[in-house]
Amino acid sequence: MNTGKPLVMADGLTKYFPLPKGKKVHAVDGVDLTIYEREIVGLVGESGSGKTTFGKTIIGLLPKSGGTVSYRGETLPQRYKPADFRRQAQVMQMIFQDPYSSLNPRMTVGEIVGEGLKLHAGLSRNDTRDKVADWLTKVGLEPDYMSRYPHEFSGGQRQRIGIARALILEPEFVVCDEPISALDVSVQAQVVNLLEELQGSMGLTLLFIAHDLSMVRYISDRMAVMYLGALAEIGPAKDVFFNPKHPYTEILIASNPEPDPETERQRLSTTIAGEIPSPVDIPAGCRFAGRCPHAMERCRVETPQLLPLPENTDRQVACHLFA
Amino acid sequence: MTQNGSGETQPPLLEVNDLKVEFDTYGGTVQAVRGVSFSIEGGQTLAIVGESGCGKSVTVQTLMGLVPMPPGRLKSGTATLRGENILGQTQIGGKDFRGSEIGMIFQDPMTSLNPTMTIGRQIAETLEVHRGWSRKKSLARAVELLEMARIPEAAQRAKQYPFEFSGGMLQRAMIAMAIACEPAILIADEPTTALDVTIQAQVLDLMQDLQRDRGTAIILITHDLGVVARMADEVAVMYAGQIVERGSVDDIFYRPAHPYTVGLRAAMPSNNPAAEHRLLPIEGSPPDLFSPPVGCAYAARCPHAMRVCNTHDPAPFAVGKGHFGKCWLHHERVPGGAQRIVSAIAGATTGDVVQPASANQGDAR
């Protein structure tokens, strides 16, 4: 699976948000993640675990507080200047979660989708128009929707517009931030299939952020589990889903209701007490120790590192149980 | 509260018949609910499943008298609680049944609680209004209820305001409020949609425990088939303002009788490794309820649609005990029709259904 070349590499990537009185929110706290060419990495975790911040920081929408991100071996600036955005926008793009607030209501669909071309490609008006029409068709919309405004479209259609906008510059790496969570089940499948097809035909590399575990398992090659700003576990999506190692992953997956009454009747109650702690005061030792059913003395003192499993080096787990 | 079986003729706890609700808008009249009938007994969980805009929330909000009329309009239908009419009124025998007999949990706990009142007071208010209890007694009970809803340090928490609670805790506080007067029926409108899976599991567990202890009937509105499989005894699948299939939870998942039910299931990834399949989206989008189609509302998206489907609305065909599907394929003149309904998913699970790749993805077509 990791046969491709590394495309994006986060090394100790850190993002803090300052609070009054010298405190800070540790949204992303030292994440190492290598994403290989043409792979889909799914990133899951509860709200507040730092998934979106990680996605935004890795493509430079947020300046980094620490660590580095490199792209094809070249280290990217800590804080993007306008020129960096211009350059990076052609290789890295983002699809946003909320198809309602992420499209400017005062721009037509043609302007929204074509804006990137206008800024970057230097095409003539007619060529831009043709390309926008072409992309609207590619994402399953009509070319003559160009002159309409976002409010005229359903959630699924808006998400297609967002996808066309992100992909029209033919980027290599796309961060999809919860692209389907605002959509109905039947429409989710349409959008996921579209993303899969485009990923295949354009050779895209995707970071797919979501909280729907089944969908991430379905679409991803590898799955990374984030908890309180750090990675708890990463590995081939199927392995992680069907054979979770980290106690947090185990609980997360056990809480995921299956659309199968028989399975649900046999399910043991796996409810985990408590909630994700505040990312302001990160506990010493393992971040999950306070909620972990297997917590040991060591977990409260020493922070576990994300290490490969001895029996399977494809999988990495940050837990003392496996060290 | 909900003792049944003492007499054969006892009316159902809640019975809704042919409910039709419309809304007048500038663009015309929206037929949001188009003839919904169901009933529920104590201790049962009925899940109402469907996508946004199918009328599931409007149905229960109408029962609770929460639909503003106008612009809403009750076109037809009856709803009875233990045989007494509740539609269009807020009281039975001089007492408000909302909150005391039927409790309701809303989807978004952040916006459904009063931000200027402490959590404890909001719960206590219910008891003061319905039971006529004193402030002090009500507040003490509110703390007990919060404890029951597994809020740690309930006495302190009761003095806090909604913004000091996390989403999961707010939802549990809302459950505490909904069950304060020990209602016979709890209506939960997408109670866990805004929550993470781990917190969702906590809230669902809590609802199940309360049901076990008190024999409460639960009407659970959701679009998540996983939650349905976990919670429901009975399921009603709604589409375009109508119940298109109704049956036990096993009927719905293992013997589906409507192509839409099958479609919903096939659009979700299966986590059974043996049943891995490519997602089969339901192409197209739901009909315009300003002018609903004359035939079956699902015909335009249905892979099995026949000529009759476009011209005549199918009746609910009984396919088993308490199980019906509103689909012409069950008609005696369509031999093997029922098999055709399930074939899509059977094909999908063996992986031999080949979808025309991206041929018509447009949800506007």
pLDDT at B356 over 60: no
Distance CA B57, CA B221 (A): 7
Say yes or no for a CB contact (<8 Å) between A272 and B201.
Answer: yes
How sure is the predictor about B86, in pLDDT bands with cuts at 50, 70 and 90? confident
pLDDT at B164 over 50: yes
pLDDT at B350 over 60: no
For residue A191, give Cα distances in angstroms to B126, B282, B309, B353: 44, 11, 28, 19
B203-226: average pLDDT: 89
A256 touches chain B (CB under 8 A): yes
Q: Which residues of B touch A267 (CB under 8 A)?
A: 230
Query: Which residue would you say has higher pLDDT here, B359 or B270?
Result: B270
Domains of chain A: residue spans and CATH: 6-91+171-322 (3.40.50.300)
* Disruptive mutation site among A186, A264, A269, A272 for chain B (greatest number of B CBs within 10 Å): A186
Say yes or no for a CB contact (<8 Å) between B269 and A217.
Answer: yes
Q: Which residues of A touch B285 (CB under 8 A)?
A: 154, 156, 187
Q: Which residues of A touch B364 (CB under 8 A)?
A: 141-142, 153-154, 157
pTM higher than 0.90: no
Which of A157, A242, A256 has its CB closest to that of B226? A256
pLDDT at residue B95, as a whole number: 79
Instruction: Please name which of A181, A134, A187, A185 lies closest in space to residue A157, comparing C-alpha atoms.
Output: A187
Nearest CA in chain A to B235: A261
Distance CA B65, CA B58 (A): 10
B32-54: average pLDDT: 91
Say yes or no for a CB contact (<8 Å) between B264 and A186.
Answer: yes
pLDDT at residue A269, as a whole number: 65
Which of A154, A186, A267 has its CB closest to that of B263? A186
Cβ within 8 Å of B, A 151-180: 153-157, 160
- Please state the φ and ψ torsions of residue A35, each to the nearest 5 degrees: -110, 125
Count how many pairs of residues, chain A against chain B, have C-beta atoms within 8 Å.
144
What's the mean pLDDT when you consider all of chain B? 84
Nearest CA in chain A to B262: A186
B17 beta partners: B78
Torsion of CA B325, B330, B336, B339, to 10 degrees: 0
Say yes or no for a CB contact (<8 Å) between B201 and A259.
Answer: no
pLDDT at residue B108, as a whole number: 79
pLDDT at residue B305, as a whole number: 87
Compute the half-sphere exposure of residue A28: CA atoms within 13 Å on the CB side of its CA.
Answer: 26
pLDDT at residue B288, as a whole number: 86
Distance CA B242, CA A248 (A): 41
Which of B249, B285, B362 has its CB closest to that of A141? B362
Query: Which residue would you say has higher pLDDT here, B360 or A185?
Result: A185
Q: How far is B295 from chain A (nearest CA, A)?
A: 22
Q: Give the DSSP letter of residue A210.
A: -
A74 touches chain B (CB under 8 A): no
Say yes or no for a CB contact (<8 Å) between B268 and A259.
Answer: yes
Q: How far is B261 from chain A (nearest CA, A)?
A: 11
Q: How far is A26 from chain B (nearest CA, A)?
A: 18
pLDDT at B172 over 90: no
pLDDT at B249 over 70: yes
Low-confidence ranges of chain A (pLDDT < 70): 1-3, 269-271, 273-274
Nearest CA in chain B to A210: B196
* pLDDT tens figures, A42-57: 999 888 888 999 999 9
Q: How far is B312 from chain A (nearest CA, A)?
A: 25
Cβ within 8 Å of B, A 217-236: 217-218
Which of B201, B281, B364 has its CB closest to that of A193? B281
pLDDT at residue B123, as a whole number: 92
* pLDDT tens figures, B322-348: 999 999 998 888 887 778 887 755 544
Tokens of A293: 């059913």
A107 touches chain B (CB under 8 A): no
Which of A47, A157, A267 has its CB closest to that of B363? A157
**B118-123 contacts, C-beta under 8 A, 24 or more apart:** B118/B158, B118/B159, B118/B160, B118/B161, B119/B146, B119/B157, B119/B158, B119/B159, B119/B160, B119/B161, B119/B162, B119/B165, B119/B173, B120/B146, B120/B157, B120/B158, B120/B159, B122/B173, B122/B177, B123/B158, B123/B173, B123/B176, B123/B177, B123/B180
pLDDT at B352 over 90: no
For residue A120, give Cα distances in angstroms to A83, A123, A124, A168, B223: 11, 9, 12, 11, 41
How sure is the predictor about B360, in pLDDT bands with cuts at 50, 70 and 90? very low
B155-165: average pLDDT: 90
pLDDT at residue B2, as a whole number: 42
For residue A123, give Cα distances in angstroms to A114, A117, A119, A142, B106: 10, 7, 9, 22, 51
Say yes or no for a CB contact (<8 Å) between A187 and B363.
Answer: yes
Place of tokens 């509260």: B1
Query: Which residue would you say has higher pLDDT here, B154 or B90?
Result: B154
Strands (E), A187-237: 205-209, 222-227, 230-236
pLDDT at B55 over 70: yes
